[in-house]
Structure 1
Amino acid sequence: MSRFHPLNVASVRAETRDAVVVTFEVPPEHRAAYRYEAGQHLTLRADIGGEEVRRSYSICSAAQEQTLRVAIKRVDDGLFSSWAFEQLKPGIVLDVMEPAGHFNVPLAPQRARHHVAFAAGSGITPILSLIKTTLLAEPLSRFTLVYGNRASSSVIFKDELADLKDRYLSRFNVVFILSREQQDIDLFNGRIDAGKCEALLRSWVNPADIDIAYICGPQLMMEQVRDSLIANGVAKADIKLELFGTAMNGAARRDRRPAIKGSAGCQITVIHDGLSRQFTAAKNGPSLLDAALASGIELPYACKGGVCGTCRCKRLDGEVELDNQFALEDYELARGFILSCQSFPVSDAVTLDFDQET
């Protein structure tokens, strides 16, 4: 169930000049609701200047810790991140949605795998959770991180990554790629793009040795790394992608010609939190999510750009057209899952279930 609860901010710690780590205090009565897995995120909600603003941030703690902690990077002209830097202090109460997301794979202590991650900038946040969780949960597995930044001063979690390297000398390897600071090894200079990924796969990471690959960063970087991995023999099913937080709030929507069958209106049935509700939406109008919100039905959402996956639901019947989507795996699409923020009605009736996980 994706609900908001008011949580106290327990601490706010400066991580870099433009990033802070925020830890929330979870009262005993909500601890079960806030149990999270590695790679999941939280949606935060605040009233800023009379406007409700939501943003999603990845949890950066290991699943074994069960400490609700996120990193917020200040973005130029970022409404929520600027407010957070100025207003968030210990004792402040903030609305926090229960954890969501599927940027992970099942872990098992008997497995001996090589997990590899490519991250850029604040894309390290879910990756850090994955690294810590995996090294603890799979003592026979290894983890390699390729992490891109402008300079060493902008590396988020630099000290924590160094501590992990000291603790897991033979099982954790990290490569820093810097675009504006020269390093002794030329391979580690520049940006993580198709050429850099190809060079790394030739001389640093054997693609045949990769069991699971995680990619988190800007869309172009993710696509180029994914394509390089696939071209070098890594199965698409073994590659997990997630756009980093700033992209969640500005994903572009393509021009569309709505597909319409039958009448101009659609009868929508929404199942959420065990309740079934109905409303009518125009087929050439707003998305299913926006139509539900306009009808007074509160549903889970954050970015409205097809990125965060908070509005994920299962289409039980009817036909919809899905626009941009960056959050669903192929197997989820095959099972009927959609993103309501990017889905538009096509048939005369559609039923959506927000309570189904699989």
Structure 2
Amino acid sequence: MENLLPKARQIEFHWLKLAKKQELTKSTFTLEFEIPPELSSHYQFEAGQYVTLRLKSDGNHLHKDFSMTSAPYEGKITLGIKINSEESFAYTLFKDLQIGDQLEVSEPRGRFTIISKPHEFRTIVGFAGGIGITPILSHFKNLLHTEPRTRLFLFYGNKTREQIIFKNELAELVKNNPDRLEIHYFYSQEKIGNGLFEGRLNEKKVALIINQILMLDDTDEESRIWDAVDEVLICGKGEMIKSIANACYEHGIPKKNIHFELFEEFNEDIYPVEKEFPLIENIAVDFKLFDNNYQTTLKNNKMRLLQQLLIQKFPVPYSCKSGICGSCECILEVGEVELLENEYLTKKEEASGKILACMSVVLSKNVKVNFDLM
């Protein structure tokens, strides 16, 4: 996960020492940070969460969010990072950060998590693309460690075999858990002689996976493995998430059991919006952001609240625009909005007045929101 702007809410940082740096492929590497005993309570985390790294460059503080590959039981913070260009934050880390150096690391957060059920028989399926393997790896290590009755299936897409990230670690997990973990690799730019595993992970591949891989269930000969799936975890680019999430839903998995994490800005809805809304024009908006109060007018409610504020050049925090990351979380103090389906807020939080600006359709002539959450 990488945020484009810092959130309005306060994030707690601590200085951690870099214990390990390792190059994985030509464009990816890992960083491992030590957690001193006095900070251990601040770095308790759940599988699938992330931390923010803060770096000072040219007098400015740069922030980037990175998912952890470590599992909670390992007692360390390990990150998988991809370098997209020599001008990127990631390249600066790779080039300049040395073992023994100190770096500001935020306390863990994020909601790409699932409830632990160590006493149940579960089937969990993961879909990952490229660097999207990072939180999935955290989940799978944790599930194998804490849920002895859970079986796991991973479908992992990369351009070529050479670009598979954490290949050795994944192979070791399969070796140690041959009856509980099955991994299948897919390649979008390499021919391997089997059409099933050639091409991108998308809705068509999901149908083939269900019919050719997740077929007869050894534990119940009258059903398919797919029919026993309890949770689906998806991480990668927006188009991949949208395609796979909808395919899983259309093949019978409830939306509440489909979890996803986005690794780039994505401006589309994950699921289709089927509801129509009455047209409201000339909407007065008041909002608080970074201790500043702003007022503006929206022409109408044909676009969501966040998108309209960004068009007007307000510095509202965001990352996904798709109801996944929670960066644009705020409190609705005055007015009415329709909050569309999202992956972030709980029903309890919605009932308390919290909304996501990116998923909010304004339904009143006046609204007032507060982005300064503590």
Decide which moves more: 176-185 or 37-46: 176-185
State the secondary structure of the residue aligned to 1:109: coil
Q: Distance in 1 between matches of 2:89 and 2:340?
A: 23
Deviation at 1:235, TM superposition (A): 1.2
Deviation at 1:231, TM superposition (A): 1.3
Unaligned runs of 5+ in 1: 271-276
2:354 equivalent to 1:337: yes
For the Cα contact (< 8 Å) 2:332–2:368, is it kept in 1?
A: no
User: Aligned ranges for residues 229-268 of structure 1 at < 5 Å?
Assistant: 229-244=248-263, 247=264, 250-252=265-267, 261=283, 266=286, 268=288
What residue number does 2:331 align with? 315
Letter aligned with residue 94 of structure 1:
L
For the Cα contact (< 8 Å) 1:146–1:175, is it kept in 2?
A: yes
What residue number does 1:35 align with? 44
User: Aligned ranges for residues 24-103 of structure 1 at < 5 Å?
Assistant: 24-76=33-85, 79-103=88-112
Q: TM-score, normalised by structure 1?
A: 0.80
For the Cα contact (< 8 Å) 1:43–1:96, is it kept in 2?
A: yes
Q: Deviations over 1:222-278 (max 9, x none)?
A: 11111111111111111001112xx1xx44599xx99765xx56364x8xxxxxx96
Q: Distance in 2 between matches of 1:79 and 1:210?
A: 39
State the secondary structure of the residue aligned to 1:224: helix
For the Cα contact (< 8 Å) 1:242–1:327, is it kept in 2?
A: no
Between the aligned residues of both structures, percent identity stands at 28
Decide which moves more: 146-155 or 339-348: 339-348
What residue number does 2:218 align with? none
State the secondary structure of the residue aligned to 2:98: coil
Q: Distance in 1 between matches of 2:291 and 2:189?
A: 54
Deviation at 1:330, TM superposition (A): 7.1
What residue number does 1:165 align with? 174
Q: Distance in 2 between matches of 1:110 and 1:12?
A: 36
Q: Distance in 1 between matches of 2:207 and 2:361?
A: 39
Letter aligned with residue 281 of structure 1:
Y
Letter aligned with residue 286 of structure 2:
C
State the secondary structure of the residue aligned to 1:162: helix
Judged with a 3 Å threshold, the aligned counterparts in structure 2 of structure 1 residues 99 and 79 are, in CA distance, closer, same or farther, namely same
What residue number does 1:282 align with? 295
Judged with a 3 Å threshold, the aligned counterparts in structure 2 of structure 1 residues 22 and 319 are, in CA distance, closer, same or farther, namely farther
Deviation at 1:321, TM superposition (A): 6.4
2:33 equivalent to 1:19: no
Unaligned runs of 5+ in 2: 1-9, 215-224, 270-278, 299-304
For the Cα contact (< 8 Å) 1:119–1:146, is it kept in 2?
A: yes
For the Cα contact (< 8 Å) 2:35–2:75, is it kept in 1?
A: no
Q: Distance in 1 between matches of 2:354 and 2:56?
A: 31
State the secondary structure of the residue aligned to 1:89: coil
Q: Deviations over 1:139-163 (max 9, x none)?
A: 0010100000011111111000000
Decide which moves more: 157-166 or 57-66: 57-66
For the Cα contact (< 8 Å) 1:9–1:92, is it kept in 2?
A: yes
How many aligned residue pairs are there? 333
Q: Distance in 2 between matches of 1:5 and 1:27?
A: 11
State the secondary structure of the residue aligned to 1:309: coil
Letter aligned with residue 246 of structure 2:
D
Deviation at 1:209, TM superposition (A): 2.0
What residue number does 1:273 align with? none
State the secondary structure of the residue aligned to 1:71: strand
State the secondary structure of the residue aligned to 1:163: helix
Judged with a 3 Å threshold, the aligned counterparts in structure 2 of structure 1 residues 179 and 350 are, in CA distance, closer, same or farther, namely closer
State the secondary structure of the residue aligned to 2:74: coil
Letter aligned with residue 67 of structure 1:
K
User: Aligned ranges for residues 105-254 of structure 1 at < 5 Å?
Assistant: 105-205=114-214, 206-244=225-263, 247=264, 250-252=265-267
Q: Distance in 2 between matches of 1:8 and 1:258?
A: 53
Q: Distance in 1 between matches of 2:319 and 2:62?
A: 10
State the secondary structure of the residue aligned to 1:105: coil
What residue number does 1:274 align with? none
Q: Distance in 2 between matches of 1:51 and 1:307?
A: 29
Q: Distance in 1 between matches of 2:27 and 2:342?
A: 26
For the Cα contact (< 8 Å) 1:251–1:307, is it kept in 2?
A: no
Letter aligned with residue 211 of structure 2:
R
Q: Distance in 1 between matches of 2:309 and 2:101?
A: 30
State the secondary structure of the residue aligned to 1:31: helix
Judged with a 3 Å threshold, the aligned counterparts in structure 2 of structure 1 residues 316 and 338 are, in CA distance, closer, same or farther, namely closer
State the secondary structure of the residue aligned to 1:102: coil
User: Aligned ranges for residues 267-306 of structure 1 at < 5 Å?
Assistant: 268=288, 279-284=292-297, 303=319
